[in-house]
Chain A
Amino acid sequence: MGELIHLVVSGTATGAIYALAALGFTLLWQASNTVNFAQGEFVMLPAFMMLFFIGTLGTPLWLAFLLTCPVAMLLLGYTFKRVIVDPLIRHGVIPLVIATLGLAIGLKQLVKASVTAQAQPFDSAFPNGLLTMGTITVSYADVGTLLLAGMIVIGLQLFLNRTLTGRAMQAVAQNTEAAKVLGINVQRMVLYTFLINAVLAVVTALLITPTYLAKFDMGESIGLKAFYAAIIGGFNQARGALLGGVLVGVLENLTGAYVSAAYKEGVALLLFMIVIIVRPEGLLGKPEERKV
Chain B
Amino acid sequence: MTASPSLLEVKDIRKHYGAIKAVDGVSLSVDPGEIVGVIGPNGSGKTTLFNSILGQIKPTSGNVEFCGEDITGMSPLQLSRRGVGRTFQTLQVFVKLSVRDNLIAAAQEFKGTMPSRLFAPPDAGLGYHADEMIELFRLKHVAHLPAGSLSYGQQKLIDIAMAFMPAPQLVLLDEPCAGVNPILVDELHDLLVNLNRTQGGSFVVIEHNMDFIMKLCAHVVCMVEGKVLAEGPPAEVQSNRQVLEAYLGN
**Residue positions of A touching B, CB distance < 8 A:** 159, 161-168, 170-171, 174-175, 177-186, 188
CB-based nearest B residue for A177: B92
Shortest distance between the CB of A239 and any CB in chain B (Å): 13
8 cross-chain pairs, A with B, having the tightest CB-CB distances, nearest first: A183-B80, A178-B92, A164-B120, A171-B105, A164-B124, A183-B109, A174-B94, A182-B106
Residues of A within 8 A of B118 (CB): 163, 165
Report if B10 contacts A (CB, 8 A).
no
Question: Looking at B105, B118, B120, which has the most chain A CB atoms within 10 Å of its CB?
Answer: B105
Given the known inter-chain contacts A177-B92, A181-B92, please indicate yes or no for A165 contacting B120, CB distance below 8 A: yes
Instruction: Say yes or no: B121 contacts A171, CB within 8 Å.
Output: no
Which A residues touch B40, using CB under 8 A? none
Which residues of A are found within 8 Å of B166, using beta-carbon distances?
Answer: 182-183
**The stretch of B26-34, B96-104, B201-209 that contacts the partner chain:** B96-104
The answer to whether A181 and B86 touch across the interface, beta carbons within 8 angstroms, is: yes
Q: Which of B10-47 contact A (CB under 8 A)?
A: none
Q: Does B63 contact A (CB under 8 A)?
A: no
| A159 to chain B: closest residue by CB | B119
Most buried by B among A175, A181, A184: A181
Interface residues of chain A: helix, strand, loop or mixed (majority): helix
**Do the beta carbons of B162 and A182 come within 8 Å of each other?**
yes
B53 at the interface (CB under 8 A from A): no
Q: Residues of A contacting B86 with CB < 8 Å?
A: 181
Closest to B116 in A: A164
B117 at the interface (CB under 8 A from A): yes
- A181, B121: Cβ atoms closer than 8 Å: no
- Set of chain B residues within 8 Å of A186, measured between Cβ atoms: 77
Least CB separation from A169: chain B residue: B105
Which of chain A's residues have a CB closer than 8 A to the CB of B97? 167, 170-171, 174
Chain A residue at smallest Cβ distance from B119: A163
Q: Is the CB of B110 within 8 A of A183?
A: yes
Known contacts A167-B105, A168-B105, A184-B109: A178-B80 contact under CB 8 Å: no
A19 to B81, CA, bound (A): 38
A182–B80 contact, CB under 8 A? yes
Report if B215 contacts A (CB, 8 A). no
Does any Cβ of A come within 8 Å of B192's Cβ? Answer: no
B85 touches A (CB below 8 Å): yes
Q: How far is the CB of B79 from chain A (nearest CB, A)?
A: 8
Chain A residue at minimal CB-CB distance from B110: A183
> Is there an interface contact between B108 and A168, defined as CB atoms closer than 8 Å?
yes
The docked-state distance in angstroms from the alpha carbon of A168 to that of B107 is 10
Contacting residues, chain B, for A167 (C-beta < 8 A): 97, 101, 104-105, 108, 122
Please give me the residue from chain A that is nearest to B162 by CB atom: A182
| A-chain residues with CB within 8 Å of residue B68 when the two chains form the complex | none
Given A165-B117, A184-B105: A175 and B77 interface contact (C-beta under 8 Å): no
A139 to chain B, nearest CB (A): 35
